[in-house]
Structure 1
Amino acid sequence: MQQLIGRLTQNAKVCELKDGRKVTNFSIALNDSYKQKGSGEVKKIVTYVDCAYWINEKVAAYLIKGSIVEVNGRIGVRAYLNLQNEAKGVLTCLV
Protein backbone atom coordinates (compact mmCIF):
# COMPACT_ATOMS: atom_id res chain seq x y z
CA MET A 1 0.00 0.00 0.00
CA GLN A 2 1.19 3.48 -0.85
CA GLN A 3 0.02 6.85 0.38
CA LEU A 4 -0.16 9.66 -2.19
CA ILE A 5 -1.03 13.32 -1.67
CA GLY A 6 -1.74 15.47 -4.71
CA ARG A 7 -4.14 17.78 -6.54
CA LEU A 8 -7.05 16.58 -8.64
CA THR A 9 -6.45 17.39 -12.31
CA GLN A 10 -10.17 17.31 -13.17
CA ASN A 11 -13.52 16.46 -11.60
CA ALA A 12 -14.00 12.76 -10.87
CA LYS A 13 -16.12 10.70 -13.28
CA VAL A 14 -18.30 7.72 -12.42
CA CYS A 15 -18.37 4.92 -15.00
CA GLU A 16 -20.84 2.04 -14.99
CA LEU A 17 -19.64 -1.31 -16.26
CA LYS A 18 -21.75 -3.79 -18.25
CA ASP A 19 -22.33 -5.88 -15.12
CA GLY A 20 -23.77 -2.87 -13.23
CA ARG A 21 -20.76 -2.14 -11.01
CA LYS A 22 -19.66 1.48 -10.75
CA VAL A 23 -16.14 2.89 -10.49
CA THR A 24 -15.05 6.46 -9.72
CA ASN A 25 -12.10 7.50 -11.89
CA PHE A 26 -9.91 10.53 -11.23
CA SER A 27 -6.36 11.71 -11.77
CA ILE A 28 -4.01 13.42 -9.34
CA ALA A 29 -0.83 15.44 -9.90
CA LEU A 30 2.09 14.90 -7.54
CA ASN A 31 4.38 17.95 -7.44
CA ASP A 32 8.05 17.75 -6.47
CA SER A 33 11.13 19.92 -6.88
CA TYR A 34 14.88 19.81 -6.34
CA LYS A 35 17.94 22.03 -6.77
CA GLN A 36 20.40 21.06 -9.46
CA LYS A 37 23.91 20.48 -8.19
CA GLY A 38 26.27 23.19 -9.37
CA SER A 39 23.85 25.68 -10.94
CA GLY A 40 21.42 25.73 -8.02
CA GLU A 41 18.55 25.94 -10.51
CA VAL A 42 15.26 24.62 -9.11
CA LYS A 43 13.71 21.88 -11.24
CA LYS A 44 10.02 21.09 -10.86
CA ILE A 45 8.64 17.63 -11.58
CA VAL A 46 4.97 16.69 -11.94
CA THR A 47 3.89 13.05 -11.88
CA TYR A 48 0.32 12.15 -12.87
CA VAL A 49 -1.46 9.14 -11.38
CA ASP A 50 -4.76 7.70 -12.68
CA CYS A 51 -6.87 6.48 -9.75
CA ALA A 52 -9.85 4.12 -9.51
CA TYR A 53 -12.16 3.96 -6.47
CA TRP A 54 -14.66 1.07 -6.38
CA ILE A 55 -16.36 1.27 -2.98
CA ASN A 56 -18.91 4.12 -3.25
CA GLU A 57 -19.53 6.27 -6.31
CA LYS A 58 -21.09 9.07 -4.20
CA VAL A 59 -17.58 10.23 -3.25
CA ALA A 60 -17.26 11.66 -6.78
CA ALA A 61 -19.29 14.72 -5.76
CA TYR A 62 -16.44 15.74 -3.42
CA LEU A 63 -13.60 15.14 -5.87
CA ILE A 64 -13.43 18.56 -7.55
CA LYS A 65 -10.62 19.78 -9.82
CA GLY A 66 -7.85 21.54 -7.88
CA SER A 67 -8.68 19.98 -4.50
CA ILE A 68 -5.88 18.35 -2.54
CA VAL A 69 -6.52 14.69 -1.77
CA GLU A 70 -4.78 11.93 0.15
CA VAL A 71 -5.25 8.41 -1.18
CA ASN A 72 -4.04 5.01 -0.02
CA GLY A 73 -3.84 2.23 -2.53
CA ARG A 74 -1.98 -0.23 -4.69
CA ILE A 75 0.32 1.29 -7.33
CA GLY A 76 0.57 -0.17 -10.81
CA VAL A 77 2.00 0.66 -14.23
CA ARG A 78 0.35 0.28 -17.62
CA ALA A 79 2.61 0.32 -20.70
CA TYR A 80 1.51 0.60 -24.32
CA LEU A 81 2.50 1.75 -27.82
CA ASN A 82 0.71 4.83 -29.16
CA LEU A 83 -0.37 5.37 -32.78
CA GLN A 84 3.12 6.67 -33.64
CA ASN A 85 4.57 3.40 -32.27
CA GLU A 86 6.16 5.21 -29.31
CA ALA A 87 6.35 3.48 -25.94
CA LYS A 88 4.19 5.19 -23.28
CA GLY A 89 3.39 4.43 -19.68
CA VAL A 90 0.68 5.34 -17.18
CA LEU A 91 0.99 5.20 -13.39
CA THR A 92 -2.19 3.84 -11.75
CA CYS A 93 -3.50 3.51 -8.22
CA LEU A 94 -6.30 1.24 -7.05
CA VAL A 95 -7.65 3.33 -4.16
Structure 2
Amino acid sequence: MAHLNGTVTKDAKVITTQNGKQFAAFDLVENMSYKDKDGKRVQKSFYYNCIYWIQPEKIAPYITKGTILSVQCNVVARAYTDSAGNAKASSTATIETIKFLGRRSKSLSTEEAPKLAATEKPETIAEPVDDLPF
Protein backbone atom coordinates (compact mmCIF):
# COMPACT_ATOMS: atom_id res chain seq x y z
CA MET A 1 0.00 0.00 0.00
CA ALA A 2 1.41 3.37 -1.03
CA HIS A 3 0.65 6.83 0.29
CA LEU A 4 0.64 9.70 -2.22
CA ASN A 5 0.12 13.44 -1.75
CA GLY A 6 -0.51 15.32 -4.95
CA THR A 7 -2.53 17.67 -7.10
CA VAL A 8 -5.30 16.59 -9.48
CA THR A 9 -4.32 17.58 -13.05
CA LYS A 10 -7.75 17.18 -14.68
CA ASP A 11 -11.33 16.76 -13.50
CA ALA A 12 -12.42 13.21 -12.59
CA LYS A 13 -14.64 11.35 -15.04
CA VAL A 14 -17.00 8.50 -14.19
CA ILE A 15 -16.39 5.57 -16.52
CA THR A 16 -18.59 2.51 -16.87
CA THR A 17 -16.96 -0.85 -17.62
CA GLN A 18 -18.38 -3.36 -20.10
CA ASN A 19 -19.95 -5.30 -17.22
CA GLY A 20 -21.69 -2.19 -15.85
CA LYS A 21 -19.41 -1.28 -12.93
CA GLN A 22 -18.39 2.36 -12.54
CA PHE A 23 -15.19 4.02 -11.38
CA ALA A 24 -13.85 7.56 -11.15
CA ALA A 25 -10.74 8.18 -13.27
CA PHE A 26 -8.40 11.14 -12.76
CA ASP A 27 -4.72 12.05 -12.94
CA LEU A 28 -2.57 13.02 -9.95
CA VAL A 29 0.88 14.64 -9.92
CA GLU A 30 3.19 14.33 -6.94
CA ASN A 31 5.98 16.94 -6.89
CA MET A 32 9.19 16.27 -4.97
CA SER A 33 12.30 18.36 -4.57
CA TYR A 34 15.71 17.76 -3.08
CA LYS A 35 19.28 19.05 -3.28
CA ASP A 36 21.72 17.05 -5.38
CA LYS A 37 25.34 16.38 -4.43
CA ASP A 38 26.33 19.80 -5.85
CA GLY A 39 23.75 21.59 -3.68
CA LYS A 40 21.43 22.42 -6.60
CA ARG A 41 17.68 22.13 -6.06
CA VAL A 42 16.21 19.31 -8.19
CA GLN A 43 12.46 19.15 -8.87
CA LYS A 44 10.84 15.86 -9.93
CA SER A 45 7.23 15.21 -10.77
CA PHE A 46 5.56 11.80 -10.77
CA TYR A 47 2.27 11.29 -12.59
CA TYR A 48 -0.33 8.66 -11.74
CA ASN A 49 -3.46 7.53 -13.58
CA CYS A 50 -5.90 7.04 -10.69
CA ILE A 51 -8.93 4.77 -10.37
CA TYR A 52 -11.45 4.98 -7.52
CA TRP A 53 -14.26 2.40 -7.30
CA ILE A 54 -16.23 3.47 -4.20
CA GLN A 55 -19.33 5.52 -5.09
CA PRO A 56 -17.63 7.20 -8.06
CA GLU A 57 -20.71 9.17 -9.12
CA LYS A 58 -20.81 10.89 -5.73
CA ILE A 59 -17.11 11.71 -5.34
CA ALA A 60 -16.17 12.60 -8.94
CA PRO A 61 -17.71 16.12 -8.83
CA TYR A 62 -15.36 16.98 -5.93
CA ILE A 63 -12.18 15.73 -7.63
CA THR A 64 -11.43 18.67 -9.88
CA LYS A 65 -8.28 20.13 -11.40
CA GLY A 66 -6.20 21.79 -8.68
CA THR A 67 -7.61 19.75 -5.79
CA ILE A 68 -4.87 18.56 -3.42
CA LEU A 69 -5.35 14.98 -2.24
CA SER A 70 -3.73 12.51 0.12
CA VAL A 71 -4.49 8.94 -0.98
CA GLN A 72 -3.78 5.40 0.14
CA CYS A 73 -3.45 3.22 -2.94
CA ASN A 74 -1.92 0.28 -4.73
CA VAL A 75 0.42 1.42 -7.51
CA VAL A 76 1.25 -0.61 -10.59
CA ALA A 77 4.05 0.63 -12.85
CA ARG A 78 4.36 -0.52 -16.45
CA ALA A 79 7.07 -0.08 -19.06
CA TYR A 80 6.18 -0.03 -22.75
CA THR A 81 7.40 1.18 -26.12
CA ASP A 82 5.41 3.88 -27.93
CA SER A 83 4.66 3.88 -31.67
CA ALA A 84 7.88 5.84 -32.35
CA GLY A 85 9.97 3.18 -30.59
CA ASN A 86 10.66 5.23 -27.46
CA ALA A 87 10.74 3.54 -24.06
CA LYS A 88 7.95 4.88 -21.83
CA ALA A 89 6.44 4.12 -18.44
CA SER A 90 3.06 4.63 -16.83
CA SER A 91 1.81 4.30 -13.25
CA THR A 92 -1.74 3.40 -12.30
CA ALA A 93 -2.94 3.93 -8.73
CA THR A 94 -6.00 2.06 -7.51
CA ILE A 95 -7.22 4.28 -4.68
CA GLU A 96 -8.43 2.80 -1.39
CA THR A 97 -8.95 6.01 0.63
CA ILE A 98 -9.00 9.70 -0.27
CA LYS A 99 -8.44 12.69 2.00
CA PHE A 100 -9.08 16.17 0.61
CA LEU A 101 -6.36 18.62 1.65
CA GLY A 102 -7.44 21.78 -0.19
CA ARG A 103 -7.05 23.48 -3.54
CA ARG A 104 -4.11 24.92 -5.44
CA SER A 105 -4.57 28.62 -6.13
CA LYS A 106 -5.61 29.35 -9.70
CA SER A 107 -2.79 31.80 -10.37
CA LEU A 108 0.71 30.38 -10.07
CA SER A 109 3.74 32.43 -9.25
CA THR A 110 6.65 32.39 -11.68
CA GLU A 111 8.49 30.07 -9.28
CA GLU A 112 5.64 27.53 -9.06
CA ALA A 113 4.83 27.26 -12.77
CA PRO A 114 8.06 25.44 -13.76
CA LYS A 115 7.50 22.92 -10.94
CA LEU A 116 4.28 21.74 -12.55
CA ALA A 117 5.97 21.33 -15.91
CA ALA A 118 9.12 19.65 -14.54
CA THR A 119 8.49 16.50 -16.57
CA GLU A 120 6.24 15.57 -19.41
CA LYS A 121 3.26 13.38 -18.54
CA PRO A 122 3.65 9.88 -19.98
CA GLU A 123 1.16 8.69 -22.56
CA THR A 124 -1.91 7.00 -21.16
CA ILE A 125 -2.45 3.47 -22.37
CA ALA A 126 -6.05 2.39 -22.71
CA GLU A 127 -6.44 -1.03 -21.13
CA PRO A 128 -9.54 -3.20 -20.85
CA VAL A 129 -11.03 -2.95 -17.40
CA ASP A 130 -13.52 -5.82 -17.70
CA ASP A 131 -10.95 -8.33 -16.37
CA LEU A 132 -10.48 -6.52 -13.03
CA PRO A 133 -11.26 -8.69 -9.97
CA PHE A 134 -13.95 -6.35 -8.59
Structure 1 length-normalised TM? 0.92
Pairs aligned (count): 94
The match for 1:48 is: 47
Matches within 5 A, 1:33-72: 33-38=33-38, 40-57=39-56, 58-72=58-72
1-structure distance, mates of 2:26, 2:94: 11
SS at match of 2:59: helix
Matches within 5 A, 1:5-84: 5-38=5-38, 40-57=39-56, 58-84=58-84
Offset from partner CA, 1:25-73 (integer Å, 9 cap, x none):
11111111111222x2211111101110111112101101011001111
- Which 4+ runs in 1 deviate beyond 3 A? none
Query: As a proportion of its length, which structure holds more strand?
Result: 1
1-structure distance, mates of 2:22, 2:44: 33
Instruction: List gaps (5 residues or longer) in structure 1.
Output: none
Identity among equivalent positions (%) equals 35
Instruction: List gaps (5 residues or longer) in structure 2.
Output: 96-134
SS at match of 1:18: coil
Structure 2 length-normalised TM? 0.67
Point out which structure has higher relative CO (alpha carbons under 8 A, 6+ apart): 1
SS at match of 1:45: strand
1-structure distance, mates of 2:8, 2:17: 23
